[in-house]
Chain A
Amino acid sequence: MFRLLVLLPLAILWSSSALAARDEAPRKQVVVASTTQIADFARQIAGDRLTVSSILAPGADPHTYQPTPDDVQIVLGADLCLENGLHLEGKNWMAALARDAGKKLVTVTRGLPPLAIRSSGQSVPDPHAWFSLTNAAIYVNNIILALERLDPSGAPGYRDRGRLYLQQLRVLDAWIREQVNRIPPERRILVTTHDAFNYFCREYRFNPENDYLSIAPVGWSTGSEVGAGMTPERHRQVVDSIRRARAQAIFVETTINPKQIREIARETGVKIGGELYSDSMGTAGSAAETYIGMMRENVLLIVQALQPRP
Chain B
Amino acid sequence: MRFALVAAIWLILVGGLSLYTYQRERRLPPQMEAVVSRDAPGEAYTLEITPSFATAADPFALQGDPLAGATIVVRTAGRVLYRSDKPQQAGVTVSVHPVAGLVAGRNEIFLRAVPPFTAPLDHAVRVRLLQGGRVLLDETLWGEKGANVASSIPFTLTEAGEGGHEQH
Q: Residues of A with Cβ closer than 8 Å to B? A: 1-2, 5-6, 9, 133-134, 137, 141, 144-145, 159, 162-163, 166-167, 169-171, 173-175, 177-178
A-B contact pairs, 18 of them (CB 8 A): A2-B6, A6-B9, A9-B13, A134-B60, A137-B60, A144-B63, A145-B63, A159-B65, A163-B62, A166-B60, A166-B62, A170-B58, A170-B60, A170-B146, A170-B148, A173-B60, A174-B145, A175-B146
User: In the complex, A144→B63 CA distance in Å?
Assistant: 9
User: In the complex, A23→B148 CA distance in Å?
Assistant: 42
How close is A7's CB to chain B, nearest CB, in angstroms? 11
| B42 beta carbon closer than 8 Å to chain A | no
Interface residues on chain B, size class: 20 to 34
| Binary contact readout B48-89 vs A (1 if CB under 8 angstroms, 0 otherwise) | 000000000011111111000000000000000000000000
Q: What is the chain A residue whose CB lies nearest that of B9?
A: A6
Q: Residues of B with Cβ closer than 8 Å to A? A: 2, 5-6, 9-10, 13, 58-65, 117-120, 144-148, 150
Q: State whether B5 touches A2 (Cβ < 8 A).
A: yes
Secondary structure call for the A interface: helix
Chain A residues lying within 8 Å of B146, measured Cβ to Cβ, are: 170-171, 173-175, 177
Chain B residues lying within 8 Å of A6, measured Cβ to Cβ, are: 6, 9
Known: A6-B6, A9-B10, A9-B13. A178 touches B145 (CB 8 A): yes
Q: State whether A167 touches B144 (Cβ < 8 A).
A: no
User: In the complex, A183→B145 CA distance in Å?
Assistant: 18
How close is A30's CB to chain B, nearest CB, in angstroms? 24
Q: State whether B117 touches A167 (Cβ < 8 A).
A: no
Chain B residues lying within 8 Å of A141, measured Cβ to Cβ, are: 62-63
Q: What is the chain B residue whose CB lies nearest that of A171?
A: B147
Chain B residues lying within 8 Å of A169, measured Cβ to Cβ, are: 60
Chain A residues lying within 8 Å of B117, measured Cβ to Cβ, are: 134, 170, 173-174
Q: What is the chain A residue whose CB lies nearest that of B146?
A: A174
How close is B119's CB to chain A, nearest CB, in angstroms? 8
